[in-house]
């Protein structure tokens, strides 16, 4: 049985209108529907712990000042700044839901960076960082993940050569639009959330 046969069988027992189209998850229509769901006005009552985020931002700022100072005093410009930052992207559950994307929530996330994927294995994506917005200074970031988890929690499906904007909380990559492929809209949101 192929995909078309399966779709025809499912359509035959589907209680919805026969005029409803079934699109693959990678289609433009499915992406638009997912965006509509993510933009809905229903919000979770759970927000990131603002005190913890402010503390982490303060630590990140102090670290950034220390790194810049060290770089001015002794960097040749060709040496890496240290070992890669290691993050994880964990699978969620089918009951997980996303809160509406909000730049004020994005501003509390750390680390936050933009980078291009240089290598992908079965369990790790390696990104070369081209811009740190918050909480880091490493030249590279290694993100450990489980295959297939991106459909569960809307985390990026990393591809070599593609640029991404990424945030994390407590070492875990954020999904639900707070990390994703580089788009002008996401870049504008990061620039607004992390001015300067």
- Reduce the DSSP state of residue 64 to 3 states and report it: helix
Residue 138 lies in a domain: yes
State the Cα–Cα distance between residues 178 and 190, nearest whole angstrom.
9
pLDDT value at residue 146: 72
According to DSSP, the β-strands at 140-145 and 85-89 are parallel
pLDDT value at residue 3: 78
Q: Identify whether the C-beta of residue 167 lies closer than 8 Å to the C-beta of residue 156.
A: no
Task: Indicate whether 117 and 183 sit together in one domain.
Answer: yes
What domain count does the chain have?
2
Checking if the pLDDT of 120 tops 80, the result is: yes
Residue 130 lies in a domain: yes
Q: Identify whether the C-beta of residue 147 lies closer than 8 Å to the C-beta of residue 122.
A: yes
Beta carbons within 10 angstroms of residue 126's beta carbon: 18
- Reduce the DSSP state of residue 27 to 3 states and report it: coil
Task: Indicate whether 64 and 93 sit together in one domain.
Answer: yes
Its pTM surpasses 0.85: no
Task: Indicate whether 68 and 131 sit together in one domain.
Answer: yes
Mean pLDDT, range 136-149, rounded to an integer: 84
Per-residue pLDDT band at 75 (split at 50, 70, 90): very low
The more confident residue out of 133 and 15 is 133
Task: Indicate whether 74 and 114 sit together in one domain.
Answer: yes
- At 14-46, the pLDDT tens digits run 665 555 556 677 778 777 777 777 776 655 444
- At 153-178, the pLDDT tens digits run 557 888 999 999 999 999 999 988 99
Q: Identify whether the C-beta of residue 138 lies closer than 8 Å to the C-beta of residue 81.
A: yes
Residue 42 lies in a domain: no
- At 80-115, the pLDDT tens digits run 568 999 999 876 555 567 888 999 999 999 999 999
User: Pseudo-torsion of CA 195, 71, 87, 153, nearest 10°?
Assistant: 20
Residue 117 lies in a domain: yes
Residue 44 lies in a domain: no
In which domain, by residue range, is 11 found? 3-37
pLDDT value at residue 76: 40
Task: Indicate whether 74 and 171 sit together in one domain.
Answer: yes
Checking if the pLDDT of 13 tops 50, the result is: yes
Strand partners, 169: 172
Per-residue pLDDT band at 193 (split at 50, 70, 90): very high
The more confident residue out of 170 and 75 is 170
Burial of 67 (0-12, 13-18, 19+ CB in 10 A): middle
């Amino acid at each position: 049985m192929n995909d078309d046969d399966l779709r025809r069988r499912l359509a035959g027992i589907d209680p919805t209108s026969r005029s409803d189209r079934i699109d693959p998850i990678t289609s433009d229509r499915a992406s638009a529907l997912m965006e509509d769901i993510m933009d809905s006005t229903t919000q979770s009552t759970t927000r990131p712990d603002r005190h913890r985020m402010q503390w982490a931002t303060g630590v990140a700022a102090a670290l950034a000042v220390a790194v810049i100072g060290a770089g001015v005093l002794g960097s040749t410009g060709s040496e890496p700044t240290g070992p890669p930052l290691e993050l994880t992207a964990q699978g969620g559950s089918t009951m997980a839901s996303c809160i509406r994307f909000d730049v004020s929530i994005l501003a509390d996330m750390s680390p936050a960076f933009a980078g291009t994927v240089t290598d992908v294995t079965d369990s790790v994506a390696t990104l070369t960082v081209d811009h740190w917005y918050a909480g880091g200074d490493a030249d590279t970031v290694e993100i450990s993940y489980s295959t297939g988890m991106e459909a569960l929690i809307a985390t990026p499906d990393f591809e070599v050569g593609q640029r991404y904007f990424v945030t994390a909380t407590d070492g875990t990559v954020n999904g639900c639009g707070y990390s994703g492929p580089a788009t002008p809209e996401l870049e504008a949101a990061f620039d607004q959330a992390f001015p300067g």
